[in-house]
Chains A and B, each alone.
Chain A
């Protein structure tokens, strides 16, 4: 017996890498992030590693991170949401309309915009759960309707915002850090707690993991999925409002550019720390990784259009490493 055991250990020792693939499955994406930081730091330590640049990276990540962390919820419960780009624009346009056309103060206007987005999310959820329309189709349809609403509200012209306090929000800093970074941190904490430390969050994971088993366990599956759509839509609107503040106007489809980066970040995040599951921290790391890459490329002075080549390859690399790692680890 002991002989066999010795052989066994010897066998593993010969291969010598039995820990490598399981580790790659969980930490591969983080490895990519660290490797990038090391490379950029080696090439241009003074500019890349400066505090200002770090804050800059976080600031550039904030808007994408918020919409992407929200999108994580639709995916966690096993659904899909293609309307987030238009819902983000919708949030910005509603906020602008309440402020400029109705003369509301910033907070009520932003609040009303979030409520509007929540309604859109709820409609998404109802169409998917109660009527049973495929999530891709339902959210594509709702998103297109929302785009139409965006045009209707603004009359086809970007809504210019003249509220100085609102415009300053994305420029002002506290302790040297711009406000959007704080918003990102607060949203991240709220969403992380919601997903990982509340009965609702556990129910979302159960619904995403096995819908039948969740239902048999007394979880209100439809309601949980609807709430996920609402969280996704509200987060998108937060990004949209910040975008309106940043650009000084709310456009009909300004949020659309966030759609694909949000998906890229969420899928990148599924390869971080957990075996292929969507989670808030992973998504955040996904957004930061892309931001670090863009930032480094800019600092080194590579043509900026290579950013897209980089972003695409990064996504495939991280998720691919995770998949290969898991497959080999399972053998």
Chain B
């Protein structure tokens, strides 16, 4: 970053932002309940809590997107109103939101300058200055792409970097990051932490929202825990460890989340799905592996390794150009997701909002979306039974513990974890024999996460095979077997005690360094 841009002198122990008794409700949901909070200047301050606990709402209040019902915000001890996002910007607040709000048709540079284009006195954009600044920011972020790259050519992870870069374009005093590491690999997380440390040393305050407790413990100095819209306490990070923090978030002690002994031996099942020499002409370059009945297979790989694309081919979203697949011993060539679902293969996509949900529609609508024909009155009479589809939706809500006022609530009003449960429930309604989960717990809180793990285990017990694709290698510990994907090919397959985070990380990078 160029000098003089971010060198506000840190004033230790001075409060940058003070939140005073802020409350906000959405319909029947009390999103924030009398929340008070001091954010010290020049610190990395974590907001943690289950999904729907109120973190994102508080961020949105500071961003001028949500207007509190009562309470006040003080900046530098002065009461301020933040009626709209431009006001937040003028206060020096920047936001890296959970959802990428970028324009796919624009270049990286255009996206980074969106909304705050430096213009000359004729109102024309000073592209040279903007470009220089953007390049500085991208260098700082160690971005591997050019400022002129079209955004649509970038991976999700690279788009995150752009989103982060946009926040750094201006001279921010406070940067709020909502789940910044959700799609990052460990190395990229380390890089991000380096950036955060350098920003902090320049006096920038960071508000850090994450479900990854390890990161919270590593990078933040203070932690505020939210539960049910209330601030249940602000702690110095030094006083906390993983167990105590988890307990504070959930409100009770929780058992270890992953890895419990399985009652059945997965290896005795015959092969359900076999993939051989699969190629899709781009990211998938000769992948071979098999999934057995009653098996939880993990797919580990770095972002861009082709792991999601392999799942897309299996789910019928993409046609292979070479190789073949067999399902249940028969040749398997899905032409569409419908073909795959008919065979009993369900794919839960990685982006729940853009690929999984119709946000404006109800919980019921979304849960029934992949199994619409199930609720018809008679085979020959394609009329949907309202009571039956509602009943089905209620069952899914109950068995997954989806928190929503009713089945008719629009899913846009649900928290991330509950939305994810709706998406998984939608595919389980199709009664799959193989369920492929792509990043199932990104943006999902500890409680909901262990619910999802429990449900995965229950599925396997009842005879469904599960494939989990994840960047969170901790999560893959629950698998019976993990295949490592590198450059579109399976390079390793590990089982049992070899499945550890360190080993998987090692395997993901190891072969990379050979080439």
The count of residues in chain A whose C-beta lies closer than 8 Å to any C-beta of chain B is 29
Set of chain A residues within 8 Å of B376, measured between Cβ atoms: 199
A108 within 8 A of B: no
A191 within 8 A of B: no
Question: What 1/0 mask marks residues of chain B from 198 to 239 whose CB sits below 8 Å from any chain A CB?
Answer: 000000000000000000000000000000000000000000
Asked whether, in the complex, the Cβ of A202 is within 8 Å of the Cβ of B384, the reply is: yes
The count of residues in chain B whose C-beta lies closer than 8 Å to any C-beta of chain A is 40
Asked whether, in the complex, the Cβ of A217 is within 8 Å of the Cβ of B382, the reply is: no
Asked whether, in the complex, the Cβ of B336 is within 8 Å of the Cβ of A220, the reply is: yes
Asked whether, in the complex, the Cβ of B369 is within 8 Å of the Cβ of A4, the reply is: no
Question: What 1/0 mask marks residues of chain A from 293 to 321 whose CB sits below 8 Å from any chain B CB?
Answer: 00000000000000000000000000000
Asked whether, in the complex, the Cβ of B370 is within 8 Å of the Cβ of A210, the reply is: no
A175 within 8 A of B: no
A199, A209, A216, A217: the one contacting B384 at CB < 8 Å is: A199
Q: How far is the CA of A218 from the CA of B375 in the complex (A)?
A: 16
Asked whether, in the complex, the Cβ of A8 is within 8 Å of the Cβ of B383, the reply is: no
Q: How far is the CA of A217 from the CA of B432 in the complex (A)?
A: 12
Asked whether A217 and B359 contact (CB < 8 A) given A8-B69, A199-B382, A212-B354, the answer is no
Q: How far is the CA of A11 from the CA of B67 in the complex (A)?
A: 14
* Nearest-Cβ distance from residue A213 to partner chain B, whole angstroms: 6
A233 within 8 A of B: no
Within 80-131 of A, Cβ neighbours of B (below 8 Å) are at none
A25 within 8 A of B: no
Asked whether, in the complex, the Cβ of A209 is within 8 Å of the Cβ of B361, the reply is: yes
* Nearest-Cβ distance from residue A322 to partner chain B, whole angstroms: 14
By DSSP majority rule, is chain B's interface helix, strand, loop, or mixed? mixed
* Nearest-Cβ distance from residue B34 to partner chain A, whole angstroms: 5
Within 205-236 of A, Cβ neighbours of B (below 8 Å) are at 205-206, 209-210, 212-220
Asked whether, in the complex, the Cβ of B365 is within 8 Å of the Cβ of A205, the reply is: yes
Specify the chain B residue showing the minimal Cβ separation from A210. Answer: B358
Asked whether, in the complex, the Cβ of B361 is within 8 Å of the Cβ of A205, the reply is: yes
Q: How far is the CA of A248 from the CA of B365 in the complex (A)?
A: 46
B420 within 8 A of A: no
Set of chain A residues within 8 Å of B66, measured between Cβ atoms: 331
B23, B338, B360, B384: the one contacting A220 at CB < 8 Å is: B338
A137 within 8 A of B: no
Set of chain A residues within 8 Å of B336, measured between Cβ atoms: 215, 218, 220
Set of chain A residues within 8 Å of B372, measured between Cβ atoms: 199, 202-203, 219
Asked whether A209 and B383 contact (CB < 8 A) given A4-B33, A199-B373, the answer is no
Within 361-398 of B, Cβ neighbours of A (below 8 Å) are at 361, 365, 368-370, 372-373, 375-376, 382-384, 386
Set of chain A residues within 8 Å of B383, measured between Cβ atoms: 193, 197-198
Set of chain A residues within 8 Å of B315, measured between Cβ atoms: 216
Set of chain A residues within 8 Å of B447, measured between Cβ atoms: none
Set of chain B residues within 8 Å of A216, measured between Cβ atoms: 315, 317, 337, 347, 349, 355-356
Asked whether A213 and B369 contact (CB < 8 A) given A11-B69, A199-B376, A331-B67, the answer is yes
Set of chain A residues within 8 Å of B359, measured between Cβ atoms: 209-210
B23, B70, B360: the one contacting A275 at CB < 8 Å is: B360
Q: Which of A206, A213, A219 has the most CB of B within 10 A?
A: A213
Number of A-B contacts (CB under 8 A): 88
B50 within 8 A of A: no
A32 within 8 A of B: no
Asked whether A11 and B70 contact (CB < 8 A) given A4-B34, A198-B384, A199-B373, the answer is yes
A56 within 8 A of B: no
Q: How far is the CA of A234 from the CA of B338 in the complex (A)?
A: 28
Asked whether, in the complex, the Cβ of A218 is within 8 Å of the Cβ of B337, the reply is: yes
A50 within 8 A of B: no
Q: How far is the CA of A267 from the CA of B370 in the complex (A)?
A: 29
A60 within 8 A of B: no
B357 within 8 A of A: yes
A7 within 8 A of B: yes
B340 within 8 A of A: yes
Specify the chain B residue showing the minimal Cβ separation from A15. Answer: B69
Q: How far is the CA of A198 from the CA of B317 in the complex (A)?
A: 25
Q: How far is the CA of A206 from the CA of B361 in the complex (A)?
A: 8
Within 427-474 of B, Cβ neighbours of A (below 8 Å) are at 430
Q: How far is the CA of A200 from the CA of B382 in the complex (A)?
A: 8
B426 within 8 A of A: yes
* Nearest-Cβ distance from residue B8 to partner chain A, whole angstroms: 32
Set of chain B residues within 8 Å of A215, measured between Cβ atoms: 317, 336-337
* Nearest-Cβ distance from residue A308 to partner chain B, whole angstroms: 33
A8, A209, A212: the one contacting B360 at CB < 8 Å is: A209
Asked whether, in the complex, the Cβ of A8 is within 8 Å of the Cβ of B355, the reply is: no
Question: What 1/0 mask marks residues of chain B from 169 to 206 whose CB sits below 8 Å from any chain A CB?
Answer: 00000000000000000000000000000000000000
Q: Which of B340, B372, B386, B430 has the most CB of A within 10 A?
A: B372
Q: How far is the CA of A217 from the CA of B369 in the complex (A)?
A: 7
Asked whether, in the complex, the Cβ of A8 is within 8 Å of the Cβ of B70, the reply is: yes
Asked whether, in the complex, the Cβ of A202 is within 8 Å of the Cβ of B360, the reply is: no
Q: Beyond the given A8-B23, A206-B358, A206-B369, could you list 11 further A-B residue pairs with CB under 8 A, ordered by the A residue number?
A: A11-B70, A198-B382, A199-B375, A212-B354, A213-B358, A213-B369, A217-B370, A220-B338, A275-B360, A276-B360, A331-B66
Q: Which residues of A contact B (CB under 8 A)?
A: 4, 7-8, 11-12, 193, 197-200, 202-203, 205-206, 209-210, 212-220, 275-277, 331
Shortest 6 CB-CB distances between A and B: which pairs? A209-B358, A217-B370, A199-B372, A218-B338, A218-B341, A210-B358
5 A-B residue pairs with CB within 8 Å: A193-B383, A200-B382, A205-B361, A219-B338, A275-B360
